[in-house]
Structure 1
Amino acid sequence: MASSYSFQGWLGLDKESAKGNLVWKSYEPKPFDETDVDIKITHCGICASDLHTLRSGWGPAQYPVCVGHEIVGTAVRVGSKVENGVKVGDRVGVGAQSGSCLRPDCEQCSSELENYCQIKQVGTYNSKWPDGSKSYGGYGDYWRGHSHFVFKIPDALPSDVAAPMLCGGITAFSPLIQYGAGPGKKVGIVGVGGLGHYGVMAAKALNVDKLVAISRTNSKKADALKMGANDFIATDEDKDWHRKHRQTLDLIVCTVSSPKMPLARYLQLLRVGGTFVQVGAPEDTIPAFNAFSLMAKKIKITGSSVGSPKEIREMLDLFAEKKVWTWNNNYPMKEANQAIVDMEDGKARYRIVLVNEKHLNESRL
């Protein structure tokens, strides 16, 4: 069945595209399968991953690339074998992952850990589908992909609020539930930014006993307290913070990706048996640390990657119930180049969302 619409978007053609040099062009999506959904995009969040990819920071990008993996819109074409009960006209979204092997003999996919599939994963952009076609993201008009990774958006969540949750939100939420954040737990969130503001709000929604936001300066202290933190550490300004707060936390989720972060001192904040989870993805290596800091307190250092479809649904439902709201700034889709420049300059406070106004206006008719 031929579609009455075409796929167009903001494409990065080389490393210079990250400096606000995206170009609007047509592209060819993957061939439509009966498990697929086409989404008419109304909103797409901007993630730091977009900038890393555009400038080939994590490795050579597959130019031309259309980034954007925090997508919300309307399902306009639905295959006969779709999952999750998606129907034409539903408000749906997709996050950073669009595919995995989904084989019944895959240890991860059969255990609802598709985000850790070791056989085949497909990123929402800058990746390849099993047939070899390229995946394209959400800085555009339409998106096509596998329905297993498409989610209905709860009515209580506005689209611009929900879109950044599909990568930024779940990246912070997933390690919290993996490592038992809830009543009786004391949690620290390193970094009050795009990921960190979700970490603070999610930990608050999970009713942790103590919630500490950790940043370099006090410039975001008022925001963090408003988001739900009941304590704040400014590592560049608070004298002897690592000693004053020693052994006070059960879990730390680190959303920053600086090779200069004081990792060894973060570890001092953990209690015996505590866990440090890295979710910020640096282009460089993380700092070294002394092995005795792990051995003396049985500390675990681990990582977490986005979240599984099951966790995404759980997050959306919880955030809708608890009224967890993204702190976002909206830009028209036509201003995508200015938006990525502002994102790089730290002006998000705390997420930037592109609004495809022509589609949004159509949905109101």
Structure 2
Amino acid sequence: MTTVAAYAAPAAKAPLERTTIERRAVGEFDVLIDIEFAGICHSDIHQAREGWGTAIFPMVPGHEIAGVVSEVGPGVTKYAVGDRVGVGCMVDSCRECDNCKAGLQQYCTGSGGPTWTYNAVGKDGQPTYGGYAQKIVVDENYVVRIPDGLSLDVAAPLLCAGITTYSPLKHWNAGPGKKVAVVGLGGLGHMGVKIAAALGAEVTVLSQSLRKKDDGLKLGATHYRATSDPKTFEELKGTFDIILNTVSAPLDFDAYLSLLRTDGAMVNVGIPEEPVHILLSSVFGNRRSLSSSGIGGIPETQEMLDFCAEHQLGAEIELIGADRINEAYERVVNSDVRYRFVIDTATI
């Protein structure tokens, strides 16, 4: 066991505070990672405040982890000391179900599903703790390599924000000749714009206002429209092949579905805390679909990192010290970040 410093929420809705946690000893197939940077995802806030249901406390959030391998178990073959690596939203799965065998570990159908990086219980019966910490021990099969073309600070958010947007864009075939709308220009949305544009799609940002229009166009969007303007929904009716919804708030889904072409898909990657409602007629007439996508499997996460390195698609970040985590949470809730807070874990 190794004792490391971390930041944890001691109870639901409580401010995060500095503490110490125990990491397991490095097993045969484990790697010990010295964490250098950890992104702050809105999911961290939902879970630390029990917005998605009962959680496990104390909670060390963080599933956007970038660092360097400092020790490997005797059976490890994929990584060596000194390698630049990342850990995303999960640290294990059953490894035996059809989805796991297909590299879709995020959709594991084994008992209990995937083991999430935090707010979960591992196979050893112990709670998992995330990346707001100095070190983490992870099985090599749930670690990915960060290419040299990406600096670790801008790579950290790719472990959630990057793969969460890359996976559905690839699955629904975003590319040349396709029109993609990205709803929301935040931590997820700004990566969705970058990746969709790099894939060759024509990208439109749909945001409440035009406040971030200049940013959206610089990130790769061709168009930027305000959803607070009723003309947006009138003029863009039947326009898009894919709508990537990155916001975690209830929307008028019927209005957004009307923007899809025949066979178009609206894919949701944000999870509202409140129930949402749609009229079946919104999808019936044009064979439209309303779907969702959850992160990506380990092979696709590596593919995403390689793609981002090739196209120089790091996240847009604001680097902070650990003593500003609680301030950052409030700013995320108030949409006051462009576009991802990243913790310099040396400050823990």
Q: Establish whether residue 129 from structure 1 lines up as the match of residue 122 from structure 2.
A: yes
Match of 2:223 among 225, 231, 240: 231
Tell me the residue number matched to 2:11. Answer: 14
Would you say 1:342 and 2:339 are equivalent positions?
Answer: no
Q: For 1:15-46, what per-residue CA distance to the aligned partner results, in whole angstroms no more than 9, with x for missing partners?
A: 232xxx21211122345321211111110000
Trace 1:51-66 onto structure 2 (pairs within 5 A): 51-66=45-60
Gaps of 5+ in 1: 360-365
Name the structure 2 match of 1:357: 346
Question: Which residues of 2 match residues 209-358 of structure 1 at below 5 A?
Answer: 210-236=202-228, 238-259=229-250, 261-286=251-276, 288-357=277-346
**Alignment match, 1:363:** none
CA contact (8 A) 1:22 1:337 kept: yes
Check the 8 A contact 1:161/1:328 in 2, yes or no.
yes
Deviations 1:311-352 (A, max 9, x none): 111111111111113111000234323332332332221100
Kept after mapping to 1: 8 A contact 2:26/2:72:
no
**One-letter amino acid of the structure 1 residue matched with residue 39 of structure 2:** G
Q: Secondary structure at the match of 1:24?
A: strand
Q: Letter of the aligned partner of 1:224 in structure 2?
A: G
**Structure 1 stretches (4+) deviating beyond 4 angstroms?**
none
SS in 2 for 1:7: strand
Alpha-carbon distance, 1:262 to partner = 2.0
Amino acid at match of 1:326: A
Q: Is 1:9–1:141's contact at 8 Å kept on the other side of the alignment?
A: yes
Note the C-alpha offset of 1:126: 0.7
1:185 aligns with 2:178: yes
Counterpart Cα distance in 2 of 1:341 and 1:257: 16
Superposition pairs of residues 78-97 of structure 1, within 5 angstroms:
78-82=72-76, 85-97=78-90
**Partner Cα separation in structure 2 for residue 111 and residue 322 of structure 1:** 27
C-alpha separation between the residues in 2 aligned to 1:30 and 1:265?
Answer: 49
2:203 & 2:213 partners in 1: Cα distance?
Answer: 13
* Correspondence for 1:147 among 130, 140, 152: 140
Q: Secondary structure at the match of 1:39?
A: strand
- For residues 142 and 305 of structure 1, the distance between their equivalents in structure 2, rounded to whole angstroms, comes to 26
The gaps in structure 2 that reach 5 residues or longer are none
Count residues with an aligned counterpart.
346
Letter in 2 for 1:214: L
Are the aligned partners of 1:10 and 1:140 in contact in 2 as well (CA < 8 Å)?
Answer: yes
Which residue type is aligned with residue 180 of structure 1? Answer: N
Q: Give the alignment of 1:191-206 within 5 angstroms.
A: 191-206=184-199
1:362 counterpart residue number:
none
> Cα offset for 1:358?
6.0
* Matching residue's letter, 2:324: E
| 1:155-202 deviation per Cα after TM superposition (whole angstroms, max 9, x unaligned) | 110111000000011111110001101112111111111100011000
- Partners of 1:235 and 1:358 in 2: CA distance: 40
Instruction: Please tell me whether the aligned partners of residues 37 and 77 of structure 1 are also in contact (alpha carbons under 8 angstroms).
Output: yes
> CA contact under 8 A between 1:46 and 1:351: conserved in structure 2?
yes
Comparing 70-79 with 159-168, which one deviates more in the overlay? 70-79
- Alpha carbons 1:82, 1:148 under 8 Å: kept: no
Q: Does residue 19 of structure 2 align to residue 25 of structure 1?
A: yes
TM-score, L = length of structure 2: 0.96
Which of 90, 97, 108 is the matching residue for 2:99?
108
Identity %: 38
Q: Is the 8 A contact 2:322 2:347 kept in 1?
A: no
Separation in 1 of the partners of 2:55 and 2:212? 33
Cα distance in 1, alignment partners of residues 95 and 288 from structure 2 = 33
Given that residues 29 and 134 in structure 1 are in contact (C-alpha distance below 8 angstroms), is that contact kept between their aligned partners in structure 2? no
Over 3 Å counting, the alpha-carbon distance change for 1:148 and 1:234 in structure 2 is same
Tell me, yes or no, if the aligned pair for 1:190 and 1:215 is still in contact at 8 Å. Answer: yes
> Partner amino acid for 1:94?
V
One-letter amino acid of the structure 2 residue matched with residue 108 of structure 1: N
CA distance in structure 2 between the aligned counterparts of 1:212 and 1:275, rounded to whole angstroms: 15
Moved more, 143-152 or 167-176: 143-152
